[in-house]
Structure 1
Amino acid sequence: MQSMEFPLVLFTVLSQAAIGLTMMRAVRTATGNANADARKEWLAIAGLMGVGLLGSLFHLGHPLSAPTALNHLGTAWLSREALFAGLFMGVAVVAVLASGAGGKAALAWIGAILGLGVIASAGMTYAPPALPALNNVLPTAFFLVSAVVLGAGFGSWFAREELRPLMARIFTGALLVGLVLYLVVPCVWISGGTVMRMTGQAWFASGLYWTHVCILAAGLAVIWRTKSIPVWLPVLVLAGELIGRAGFFADTIHTAANIGGLY
C-alpha cells in the first residue's frame, strides 16, 4: 500500500472499536447483567461508527457518490463491507432511539453479527494478490484482535462492577494474542518471497510498528500490575491501534514496488 491512508485508518479502527463494544455488550447480556445505562453505551457505539464512516468519505474522490459502493455486492468485498457497515450503523441508531429497547440482548447480538460481517469483508478487501504479505487471513485476524482489545477496554467503562473482571480477562487475552501476532508475523514474512520479505523488513524498520508493539506490551504490563483496566488505558490502546493501522497501510509493500526486479 505504502501510503498512510488516514481516512481508512480512522474508519477501520473506530468501526472496529464500535464493533468490539457491541460484541462485549452481547457477551455481558449473556450473563443477564450488562450495565445500568445501555443508552450511553449505544451512543458511544453509534458515535464511534459515525465518526469512522464520516472519516472514510475523505478517502473518496466523490464523497456524494458513496452510495454507489453498494453497486457490486455480487463481486466486490468492498461493497459488502459498505453494506454490513450501514446495517450495523442502523442497528446502533435504532438502539439509541428506541427508549428501553437499547437494553435488549437481541440488538446487541444482531449488531455483533453484523459487525463480524464488517470485519470479515474488510479483511477480504485488504487481502488482494498484489499485497502478498496480506493475501491471506491476516487482515481479518488483525482487525478482529483490534475489535476485541478496544471493545473489552472501552467496555470496562460501561460494565457493572461485578463484570469488570471479565472485561479485564478478555482485554488481557486479546492484548497477548495481538502482541504475539505482531511479533511473529513479520518474522514469517522475512522467510517468504521477495515482496513479502520486503514487507517484513519495512515493518521491522518502522517506528509506527514498534510504537504499536510497545503500547501493546505496556498495556499488558499495566493490567498485570493493577489487575484491572485503568480508565485511561483504553485511550492509550486506541492511540496504539491508530498508529499500528497507519503502519499497516504505509509499510505493507505492493508488488509494483519490485517491478523490474528479480523474484
Structure 2
Amino acid sequence: MGDMALLVFSFCMQAAIGMMFFMTLSHQLYKGKAFKGAAATAAGLSIVGVLASLAHLGQPLHALNSLLNLGSSWLSREVLFSGLFMGIAVLYALVQWYKSDALALSAGLRWIGSGVGLIAVFSMGKLYTTSSVPVWQGINTFVDFYATTIAVGALLFLVLSLKELQGVDKKVYGFAVLAAVILQAAVAIPYAIALGLGGSAAQASAEILSGMSVMISLKWILVLGGAVVLLWPTLQKSIKTEGQSSILIYASLGALICGQFIGRYVFYAGMVASTIGLT
C-alpha cells in the first residue's frame, strides 16, 4: 500500500501523543510515580512516526523545505508540531531516566508536550479535511484521530505502567477509552451512510468501503469489544484480582490496536480525490 508510511506516521504519532497526555494526567492523580517505561515508549513511537513521515516524503530535506510555508500550509504545521513533539518526548524520556529529581523540568515538559501533541493531532486532521478527498472531509476525521490518540494512548500507558498503578483506582482509563470509541462509532456510522449521497468521488469512496465491509465490521468488533473488556479490570480495586485484570488489559490492548490499525488502513484505502493533491 503506497500510503503505509503515512499510516505508520499518523498511528504511531497519535499513540505517542496519547501516552504523553495520560502521563500528564496520571502524574496529577498519583503523586510520586515515575512511569519511565511509558516515557521511553512514547519517545520511541514518536521517532518511528517521524521516520515514517520522512520515508513518505522520499527525501528528508523536503520536510525542512515544507517548514517555509507555515503561514499557508497545514502540511508545514503538521511537520512542525510533530517534530516539536518528538523532540519534547525524547527530552522528557531522557530526563525521566537520567535526571528524575528535576521535578519542575519534568512537569514542564509533560504539559508542553501534551499541548504541542494535541495541536499536532489537530494539524493532521486539518491537513486531511482540507484536501480534495471527500471521504476525509468533515468532522469524522478529527474524531477518528483524537479517538485513536485517547484510546490507544491510554491503553498503552496503562499496560506499560501496570506495576506502578497496582492497587490504585484505574477506572479513569477504562472510561476514557470507552467514551472515545463510542464517540468514534457514533460519528463514523452516520458519516459513512451519508458518504454515498455525495458527488462522484464520494460515491466511489463509498463503493470501495462497501467492498471492505467485513474488514470494517471487524474493526468495530475489535475496537468496541476491547473497550468493553477493559472496563472490568479497571473497575477492580482488590489486589487479589490484579493478575487476572492484567490479562484482560493486555487482551483489550491487542484488540484495540488491531481494530484501530484496521480503521486507519481503511481510512487511506477509501481515498478517491475529486481533484489532485493535498493542501
Give TM-score scaled by structure 2 length: 0.82
Corresponding residue number in structure 2 for 1:13: 11
Which residue of 34, 37, 57 corresponds with 1:37?
34
Asked whether the equivalents of residues 63 and 79 of structure 2 are also in contact (C-alpha less than 8 Å), the reply is no
Alpha-carbon distance, 1:193 to partner: 3.1
Asked whether the equivalents of residues 18 and 45 of structure 1 are also in contact (C-alpha less than 8 Å), the reply is yes
> In structure 2, how many angstroms separate the alpha carbons of the residues matched to 1:46 and 1:148?
17
Matches within 5 A, 1:154-173: 154-157=156-159, 158=161, 160-161=165-166, 162-173=168-179
Which residue of 188, 196, 217 corresponds with 1:190?
196
After superposition, give the CA deviation of every residue in 1:59-97 in whole Å (9 maximum; x if it has no partner).
Answer: 123234432221211111111111101111111122122
Alpha-carbon distance, 1:35 to partner: 6.7
Matches within 5 A, 1:113-262: 113-157=115-159, 158=161, 160-161=165-166, 162-206=168-212, 207-224=214-231, 230-256=249-275
> In structure 2, how many angstroms separate the alpha carbons of the residues matched to 1:28 and 1:227?
14
Asked whether the equivalents of residues 4 and 250 of structure 1 are also in contact (C-alpha less than 8 Å), the reply is no
Paired amino acid for 1:138:
N
Alpha-carbon distance, 1:225 to partner: 5.7
Corresponding residue number in structure 2 for 1:260: none
C-alpha distance 69-235 of structure 1, shift in aligned 2 (>3 A): farther
Alpha-carbon distance, 1:16 to partner: 0.3
> In structure 2, how many angstroms separate the alpha carbons of the residues matched to 1:16 and 1:123?
11
Paired amino acid for 2:75:
L
Paired amino acid for 1:134:
W
SS, match of residue 46 in structure 1: helix
C-alpha distance 51-125 of structure 1, shift in aligned 2 (>3 A): same
Deviates more, 1:44-53 or 1:20-29: 20-29
Alpha-carbon distance, 1:58 to partner: 1.8
> In structure 2, how many angstroms separate the alpha carbons of the residues matched to 1:79 and 1:129?
14
Asked whether the equivalents of residues 15 and 49 of structure 1 are also in contact (C-alpha less than 8 Å), the reply is yes
Alpha-carbon distance, 1:256 to partner: 4.9
Asked whether the equivalents of residues 28 and 163 of structure 1 are also in contact (C-alpha less than 8 Å), the reply is no
Corresponding residue number in structure 2 for 1:111: 113
C-alpha distance 35-187 of structure 1, shift in aligned 2 (>3 A): farther
Deviates more, 1:142-151 or 1:101-110: 101-110
C-alpha distance 244-102 of structure 1, shift in aligned 2 (>3 A): farther
Asked whether the equivalents of residues 226 and 251 of structure 2 are also in contact (C-alpha less than 8 Å), the reply is no
> In structure 2, how many angstroms separate the alpha carbons of the residues matched to 1:173 and 1:18?
19
Alpha-carbon distance, 1:251 to partner: 1.0
Q: How many residues align?
A: 254
Tell me how large the CA RMSD over aligned residues is.
2.3
After superposition, give the CA deviation of every residue in 1:211-239 in whole Å (9 maximum; x if it has no partner).
Answer: 32221132134235655651232233222
Asked whether the equivalents of residues 203 and 252 of structure 1 are also in contact (C-alpha less than 8 Å), the reply is no
Structure 1: gaps (5+ residues): 258-263
Deviates more, 1:206-215 or 1:87-96: 206-215
Structure 2: gaps (5+ residues): 236-247
Alpha-carbon distance, 1:52 to partner: 1.1
